[in-house]
């Protein structure tokens, strides 16, 4: 069975968005960007909440991004190659190829996706990931922790869930970002 992995950037105090909902607080870094691209290459399907999907769709809908550098071209290629499932009650349509819109997050349907998949899946968007974690569907959590305090915003990890995690891997980047990969016991 394929794994479902939650991948996100987080501030040191545990937020993915600042208090105003901005996602642009993590400065661009080529090493972190290349590592993220390499990580995403191993996934065949991306499960997204609406807001993250809308942020990521530009990697297909804005060709100028891919033309900015070899790194951005590679990321755009990897992102476009994956199948996407977007969970939203407000979107009326999706703007990217190989993308399916689902109105409800159905844990049984996600379990079926995992069982049928030939490569691992990733889940993104803190709210969607929290639902996956609460349902016992998320197998791993990969955090890119940035050396920054946001002082509030949207938490990267769900409240109200208590479980021990097993550290599988860690990597420190030259800019102070730390990548932490944990297994979530079932």
Look up the pTM and report it: 0.96
- CA–CA separation, 171 and 124 (whole Å): 21
**Could you tell me which of 41, 17, 35, 5 has the C-alpha nearest to residue 139?**
5
Q: Which residue range forms the structural domain that includes residue 96?
A: 4-183
- CA–CA separation, 121 and 185 (whole Å): 17
- The CATH number assigned to the domain holding 150 equals 3.40.430.10
**pLDDT tops 80 at residue 186:** no
Angle at the Cα of 150 from the Cα atoms of 8 and 58, rounded to 5 degrees? 45
Q: How confident is the model at residue 24 (pLDDT cuts 50, 70, 90)?
A: confident
The total of structural domains in the chain comes to 1
Question: What is the number of other CB atoms lying within 10 angstroms of the CB of residue 38?
Answer: 12
pLDDT digits (tens, 9 = 90+) for 90-140: 999 999 999 999 999 999 999 999 999 999 999 999 999 999 999 999 999
């Amino acid at each position: 069975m394929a794994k479902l992995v939650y991948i996100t950037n987080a501030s040191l105090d545990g937020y993915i968005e600042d208090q105003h909902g901005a996602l642009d607080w993590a400065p661009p870094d080529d090493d972190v960007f290349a590592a993220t691209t390499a990580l995403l290459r191993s996934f065949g399907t991306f499960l997204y909440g609406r807001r993250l999907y809308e942020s990521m769709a530009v990697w297909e809908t804005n060709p100028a991004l891919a033309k900015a550098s070899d790194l951005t071209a590679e990321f755009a290629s990897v992102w476009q190659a994956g199948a996407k499932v977007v969970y939203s009650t407000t979107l009326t349509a999706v703007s990217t190829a190989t993308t399916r819109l689902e109105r409800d997050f159905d844990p049984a349907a996600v379990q079926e996706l995992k069982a049928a998949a030939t490569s691992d899946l990733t889940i993104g968007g803190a709210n969607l990931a929290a639902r996956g974690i609460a349902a016992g569907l998320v197998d791993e959590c990969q955090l890119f922790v940035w050396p920054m305090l946001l002082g509030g915003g949207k938490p990267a990890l769900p409240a109200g869930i208590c479980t021990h995690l097993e550290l599988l891997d860690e990597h420190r980047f030259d800019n102070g970002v730390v990548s932490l990969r944990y297994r979530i016991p079932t």
